Chains A and B, each alone.
Chain A
């Protein structure tokens, strides 16, 4: 089997499209979007071929490795890996990506930087796909960083909005803090094993030999492999918007809506979950407990905050935070296949919800505040219908919708976790909250009377925008049937186990009444939501939320997202700035002044020397010189210039010389 050798095509095609986009002149902007769409379609084809090749041997890890950088006997290696996990993800990203690209051709058609937008989107897709097919932690890191960069460029795409520019910066720097952990984990791994490859015929670091080698306890009791895994988890926390680095994700909604759909809902933020699923063998129970805890906190936090937000995209953003928390929780309780199942279903229905929100926002002349919407259901029928499907999938409405099955899988996993029942209960609470806030959103946006002119004028969008919605809606329903307890085909492929060909419907109702519990909880959430927001619909935009009237303080705190941003501004940023100012002052006033002092000291010595020179040494020199001059003057008076005088002296000298010779020779 040589398929892994062709895997590079999957990221390379969008990269090529990005290059084309970078050099597309404004006038021919269609070239950029055409190249992007074409590349995504082609990548989708290759990814499907890869998936079928991977499913032929689901338990195998087919690899193709090569050396990127060699320093003596130390090599930094890249490689491509074909297994169901990566292949499923690649198919999902290329498919969702293609639909979002298509949607963008409509959504961004009035933007003057249209060509550049598709260039960035393609760059993002290339990096994301590279990450998925990578067999090298180093290549993963590399793509990881480029994904972050593309996300920065896209969040800040409307950089004339100061909030967008600030959000882009915040996203980039916050995720880079997490990436620091990733980098350190990578360094540690390399120095311990001299390999960066996941799988390499027995010597990759996710294979038994290496794992045994790394199963050494550190002085603090943690295994080396877990410590590395937790460092890598820091990167995942940043990228996947987990507590406490979740602050960037809601702000990232300042980017164009297709970007939010593609990057900050469906794909990039899932990269962290994917990474954890990929390196799952590294993690020991200790490390998994940490992952589960962070996941549970994030799931609850996101859901609670989502209840109070008024910006439609921010509600969805916090719901993404919460759902990503679910996925991390699933990893932590030892069910990576459930996490990936939820990741895949979530990607479709969240992309659907975001694109639906984009459709609403586009129709409502870029109004994002739900208080100014209302009554859109009759005006935008396709958007409403598809959005409702996405909403029900997210809320986990039973049986028909994919979100129900994937959430079930996670709850089952959490229930079976021996360490602590807390994640399970948190998961249940979040189920209620999710159904609640999604009902609130639906009621505010689609029902009641329009509360602004923009909402009144809203019209359904063209097919390039509604077709992706419809396709995603179909997926949001169908995908769930790949992983029902009756026939968990997807999970079986991911874990590489055998599965019976016929579904066993009795299995659905096995277990300690979990199914019934979650159906009741979903109904509770939907009912409560409708009770608060459905019966008495919001009449004016300025009217406070019914819950706000009852619990003003708690509401305010949640609306300000529990003051995490303020907390970080008061601590981390202030500390950092203080340090920077201290360093600057040190440089200006201490080091530089010390140098200047040495300089002045030199100058001062120079003055002293000059004085010594002028008053002391020079005086002596002058005196000597003066004497010489006097003497010379005396001598020079002999130089009269008269020939007679000279002759006279000459004669005199001659006589004297003769006498001297005569005397001496005697």
Chain B
């Protein structure tokens, strides 16, 4: 259990070594990154075996740091779930970045640094520390997109980072205000302290911190960084963006904004729910008419994160459990979708235009990609048997108990998801496949899928199916965490 902080340190050590390997030794840098990710997963697995879910968070490290904050790392079931997600997403991301040849060492250095920051966020038990790790995670994103990206990469990278920093600025302002009002940043004391804040203070602080984090969770109308950012990013980075970075935002909302300022949640609950539902429906509709393959996935991410926001807004134990499960599920499934689009298809066909892809016999040319994408698409539309179903179902069931109308509106998103997913599966993979097309010289055979790609795809699919069939694996971690005094405040507040 106490090894868990080593995920952070190991990532940064790996990042430094990969950076030293630099441009010259690309193969060692690759293997180094892989070993780091595997080492992290090993640590997480070890910790998971040792982890006994309890209502209280389990402190890992608590050292004095600066006058107003301590270096306090802790884990509960929610952190564990997201740390596990990070470990898996990082491993898959590295497998799908195996073919990076341009400044390989630098790429993996930034990749691992980003991962290290993410681990830090999920393990922080101090609001200020969390914020510091959050900032650490933002910087590598810019370079990953701007240097290794594709379409419109400078624009995408800049937009991504400006949105992130704008969000951070709001969070910072909120934290400063809270600090000035006498709140200690140690998250374990939030519950006891926030009673000293007036309603106005709570509402204001909540608005700042929640909005700041929600920007990164893709909340409408602050979501437009997501599609352009994803499109511009290289495959590994867009897997991380969708897989874990969007979760950072949602996690911040869940960990800081909700428990610290229950009155703020009360006040803004309808608005957040409305924005969540708007995200589900609106982004789903937008995804329906995109012509760029990656844009479809980008908007579908926004749509799925809408479910997370709805779950956070409702804030009953069922809805929150569903929201955390959805974070995990979306991290896995969206990562896989981006991997297929970015790595398997785009890097071989050099186009993401759906109408151009439709003219290729892609199912015959890349059968593995077609099967994986179809399965991932099925998972993404919330089909039972995959992780999305228990997650979205829990959110909807929690929402219905709170407000049936919200649940009805959100549920409309499900057929919409089926529509855009089937459309893109059909357009991209099952276009022209008449037998005579294949032999013709118009379509020279594409390079076959490589082993790292296959491993990564199988890994992600297996995780999604395992959780889909037996969600209890994660819920046994998540639910006790939601019963902690800290989270009880949230659900009690929401119930009023």
User: Which residues of A are at the interface with B, using a C-beta cutoff of 8 A?
Assistant: 68-72, 74, 76, 141-143, 145-146, 149, 152, 156, 159-160, 165, 169, 172-173, 176-177, 179-180, 183-184, 187-188, 190-191, 576-577, 579-581, 583-584, 586-587, 591-592, 595, 599
Whether a CB of chain A sits under 8 angstroms from the CB of B352 is no
Shortest CB distance B442–A (Å): 17
- State in angstroms the CA–CA spacing of A397 and B78 once bound together: 66
Q: Given the interface contacts A184-B407, A191-B400, A580-B286, does A69 sit within 8 Å of B471 by beta carbon?
A: yes
Q: Given the interface contacts A145-B383, A592-B224, does A187 sit within 8 Å of B479 by beta carbon?
A: no
Q: Given the interface contacts A142-B389, A591-B221, A592-B224, does A183 sit within 8 Å of B286 by beta carbon?
A: no
- State in angstroms the CA–CA spacing of A260 and B430 once bound together: 22
Tell me which residues across on chain B come within 8 A of A76, comparing CB atoms. 393, 397
Q: Given the interface contacts A145-B384, A584-B289, A592-B224, does A70 sit within 8 Å of B472 by beta carbon?
A: yes
Tell me which residues across on chain A come within 8 A of B401, comparing CB atoms. 191
- Whether the Cβ atoms of A70 and B475 lie closer than 8 Å is yes
- State in angstroms the CA–CA spacing of A591 and B275 once bound together: 14
- Whether the Cβ atoms of B411 and A184 lie closer than 8 Å is yes
- Whether the Cβ atoms of B434 and A69 lie closer than 8 Å is no
- Whether the Cβ atoms of B408 and A184 lie closer than 8 Å is yes
Shortest CB distance B156–A (Å): 12
- State in angstroms the CA–CA spacing of A255 and B100 once bound together: 43
Shortest CB distance B82–A (Å): 18
- Whether the Cβ atoms of B430 and A146 lie closer than 8 Å is no
Question: 4 more A-B contacts (CB under 8 A) besides A71-B318, A180-B415?
Answer: A68-B472, A69-B475, A159-B363, A583-B286
Tell me which residues across on chain B come within 8 A of A160, comparing CB atoms. 433-434
- Whether the Cβ atoms of B414 and A580 lie closer than 8 Å is no
- State in angstroms the CA–CA spacing of A279 and B404 once bound together: 22
- Whether the Cβ atoms of B483 and A72 lie closer than 8 Å is yes
Contact with A along B470-496 (1 / 0, CB 8 A): 011001000100110000000000000
Interface SS majority for chain B: helix
- Whether the Cβ atoms of A190 and B418 lie closer than 8 Å is no
Whether a CB of chain A sits under 8 angstroms from the CB of B365 is no
- Whether the Cβ atoms of A581 and B289 lie closer than 8 Å is yes
Contact with A along B153-165 (1 / 0, CB 8 A): 0000001001000
Question: Which of A71, A173, A581 contacts B394 (CB under 8 A)?
Answer: A71
User: Which residues of B are at the interface with A, using a C-beta cutoff of 8 A?
Assistant: 159, 162, 221, 224, 282-283, 285-286, 288-290, 317-318, 321, 363, 378, 383-385, 389-390, 393-394, 396-397, 400-401, 404, 407-408, 411-412, 414-415, 418-419, 422-423, 426, 430, 433-434, 471-472, 475, 479, 482-483
Residue of A nearest to B430 (CB): A159
- State in angstroms the CA–CA spacing of A143 and B414 once bound together: 17
- Whether the Cβ atoms of B390 and A146 lie closer than 8 Å is no
Looking at A141, A146, A177, A183, the one whose CB has the most chain B CB atoms below 10 A away is A183
Question: Which of B286, B317, B414 contacts A71 (CB under 8 A)?
Answer: B317
- Whether the Cβ atoms of A69 and B394 lie closer than 8 Å is yes
- State in angstroms the CA–CA spacing of A591 and B426 once bound together: 29
- Whether the Cβ atoms of B396 and A577 lie closer than 8 Å is no
Tell me which residues across on chain A come within 8 A of B479, comparing CB atoms. 70-72
- Whether the Cβ atoms of A587 and B411 lie closer than 8 Å is no
Q: Given the interface contacts A160-B434, A576-B288, A599-B162, does A187 sit within 8 Å of B397 by beta carbon?
A: yes
Question: Which of A141, A183, A576, A595 contacts B411 (CB under 8 A)?
Answer: A183
- Whether the Cβ atoms of A587 and B422 lie closer than 8 Å is no
Shortest CB distance A354–B (Å): 26
- Whether the Cβ atoms of A72 and B317 lie closer than 8 Å is yes
Shortest CB distance A217–B (Å): 17
- Whether the Cβ atoms of A188 and B224 lie closer than 8 Å is no
Residue of A nearest to B390 (CB): A69
Residue of B nearest to A67 (CB): B472
- State in angstroms the CA–CA spacing of A665 and B396 once bound together: 95
Tell me which residues across on chain B come within 8 A of A173, comparing CB atoms. 415, 418-419, 422
Question: Which of A70, A143, A149, A187 contacts B396 (CB under 8 A)?
Answer: A187
- State in angstroms the CA–CA spacing of A573 and B60 once bound together: 55
Tell me which residues across on chain B come within 8 A of A149, comparing CB atoms. 378, 383
Residue of A nearest to B423 (CB): A169
